[in-house]
């Protein structure tokens, strides 16, 4: 996770767990743990990079389980 200081939005890079260690809640715990310093820094919105999500429903499920929702933003010039 890294914090964009300009807009106070942290970004979680793709988060994953080795297949042999999935399902006991390690990825969820890591994501939830990362939200605490982000909120302390003033973040009200967080971003997770979920590239290739249609091919990885487990990843979508993990991100949604901690409160992330699908959102797309476009900058218009």
Q: What percent of the chain has pLDDT over 70?
A: 84
Q: What pLDDT, on a 0 to 100 scale, did the predictor assign at position 71?
A: 65
Residue segments in the chain with a per-residue pLDDT below the cut of 50: 74-77
Decide: 36 and 51 in contact? Cβ < 8 Å.
no
Q: Which three-class secondary structure string do you get for the chain?
A: CEEECCCCEEEECCCCCCHHHCCCCHHHHHHHHHHHHHHHCCCCCCEECCCCHHHCHHHHHHHHHCCCCCCCCCCCC
Mean pLDDT of the chain: 78
Domain edges within the chain: 2-65
pTM: 0.68
Q: What is the pLDDT of residue 51?
A: 65
């Amino acid at each position: 996770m890294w914090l964009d200081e300009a807009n106070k939005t942290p970004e979680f890079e793709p988060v994953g767990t080795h297949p042999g260690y999935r399902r006991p809640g390690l990825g969820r715990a890591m994501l939830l743990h990362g939200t605490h310093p982000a909120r302390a820094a003033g973040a009200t919105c967080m971003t997770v990079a979920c590239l290739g999500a249609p091919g990885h429903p487990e990843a979508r499920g993990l991100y949604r389980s901690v409160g992330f929702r699908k959102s797309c933003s476009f900058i218009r010039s």
